[in-house]
């Protein structure tokens, strides 16, 4: 029987530090082949806007292969459903047989959050202790948990268009971190608060993570202060933006990959098209940061901006991470 590795298993077996370290080691593995992902918008008449189908393959020849099949439905919040849903198919690349099927929603949230926290180790100031998260979905929750594992935070602010959802997320995070007290996650030293107006606390935040599906900029560059780090995660289509032109102009720009980062998100594509940003302005991608071929933050007063659109190699690495845990547990039972 082909195992289905579900959300509960992934949630219980995640160490963001371990996953981040594996991603860092594997990003420059020449064995991994990653085609540009398939991106198909399709009409969603009841929602009044398009939904999206994403197909993301990657493989190591003769070893393992995976493909993620997900849909993104922007209005799912009103049904109390995640906007991202789908499955990840993990295969033996030699025999072609299916090793496991994963809940893609959970896999995506964990690897994306791990990537953001990993990038912040190169781009955020070492003394960063205040995090502001825009968004209230599964990814927002995981961004907080990942950053908490990677650095000692003192204050976390959560904002969402629906304040009740932001407040609910705060309660969930307090419960999750409380259950992990005594480990690396020290709840007693972290204040977590829902805010009705994120602009009122932007200047306090050392790291600002955005995990929304906004089609118009939320963050305004005029509100930023020197030394901040921006982590833009939500925008993955050309008509989506989470940060305005001023944010781009004031920031040192970094991408998860050149392959997708320069082509897919409105946060980068629109400034490129208008001429306020050129490809040469991009300091590095995460592959170069992890390999040490290009530096990250070089000054305390720099504003750094990391734009992530996701990469199929991240899914393959994460699938292997969880599958190996699953196999070890099976052998011990």
pLDDT at 178: 74
Burial of 69 (0-12, 13-18, 19+ CB in 10 A): middle
State pLDDT tens for residues 123-141. 999 999 999 999 999 899 9
Please check whether residue 214 lies inside any domain of the structure.
yes
Of 30-39, 54-63, 84-93, the one with minimum mean pLDDT is 30-39
Residues 16 and 96 in one domain: yes
State pLDDT tens for residues 190-201. 999 999 999 999
Residues 127 and 272 in one domain: yes
Query: For residue 28, what are the domain limits?
Result: 4-107+313-328
Please check whether residue 333 lies inside any domain of the structure.
no
Residues 136 and 263 in one domain: yes
Residues 135 and 189 in one domain: yes
State pLDDT tens for residues 207-266. 999 999 999 999 999 999 999 999 999 988 888 999 999 999 999 999 999 988 898 899
Residues 159 and 62 in one domain: no
Residues 80 and 184 in one domain: no
Please check whether residue 135 lies inside any domain of the structure.
yes
Q: Indicate which CATH number applies to the domain containing 185.
A: 3.40.50.720
- Record the pTM: 0.90
Q: Indicate which CATH number applies to the domain containing 84.
A: 3.30.1780.10
Residues 257 and 134 in one domain: yes
Q: Give 179's pLDDT tier (boundaries 50, 70, 90).
A: low
Residues 103 and 202 in one domain: no
State pLDDT tens for residues 69-127. 989 888 887 888 888 889 999 999 999 999 999 999 999 999 999 999 999 999 999 99
Contact 66, 97 (CB under 8 A): no
Residues 178 and 213 in one domain: yes
With CA atoms as reference, report the closest residue to 149 among 124, 123, 114: 114
Share of residues in the chain with pLDDT > 70 (%): 97
Residues 160 and 190 in one domain: yes
The domain tally of the chain equals: 2
Asked whether the predicted pLDDT for residue 329 surpasses 80, the reply is yes
């Amino acid at each position: 029987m082909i195992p289905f590795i579900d959300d509960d298993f992934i949630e219980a077996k995640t160490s963001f530090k371990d996953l981040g370290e594996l991603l860092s080691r594997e990003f420059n593995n020449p064995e991994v082949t990653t085609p540009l992902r398939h991106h198909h918008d399709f009409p969603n008449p009841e929602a009044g806007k398009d939904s999206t189908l994403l197909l993301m393959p990657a493989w190591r020849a003769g070893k393992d292969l995976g493909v993620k099949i997900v849909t993104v439905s922007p209005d799912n919040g009103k049904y109390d459903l995640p906007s991202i849903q789908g499955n990840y198919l993990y295969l033996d690349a030699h025999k072609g047989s299916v090793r496991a099927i994963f809940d893609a929603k959970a896999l995506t949230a964990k690897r994306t959050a791990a990537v953001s926290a990993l990038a912040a180790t190169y781009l955020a100031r070492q003394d960063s202790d205040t995090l502001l998260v825009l968004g209230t979905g599964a990814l927002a929750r995981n961004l907080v948990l990942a950053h908490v594992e990677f650095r000692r935070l003192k204050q976390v602010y959560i904002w969402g268009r629906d304040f009740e959802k932001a407040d609910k997320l705060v309660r969930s995070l307090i419960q999750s971190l409380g259950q992990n007290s005594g480990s690396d996650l020290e709840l007693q030293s972290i204040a977590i608060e829902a805010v009705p107006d994120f602009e009122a606390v932007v200047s306090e935040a050392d790291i600002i993570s955005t995990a929304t599906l906004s089609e118009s900029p939320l963050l305004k560059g005029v509100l930023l202060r020197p030394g901040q780090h921006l982590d833009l995660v939500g925008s993955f289509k050309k008509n989506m933006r989470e940060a305005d032109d001023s944010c781009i102009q004031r920031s040192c720009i970094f991408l998860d990959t050149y392959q997708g980062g320069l082509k897919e998100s409105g946060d980068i594509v629109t400034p490129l098209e208008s001429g306020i940003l050129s490809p040469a302005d991009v300091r590095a991608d995460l592959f170069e940061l992890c390999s040490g071929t290009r530096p990250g933050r070089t000054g305390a007063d720099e504003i750094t901006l990391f734009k992530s659109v996701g990469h199929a190699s991240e899914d393959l690495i994460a699938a292997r991470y969880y599958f190996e845990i699953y196999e070890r547990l099976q052998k011990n039972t």
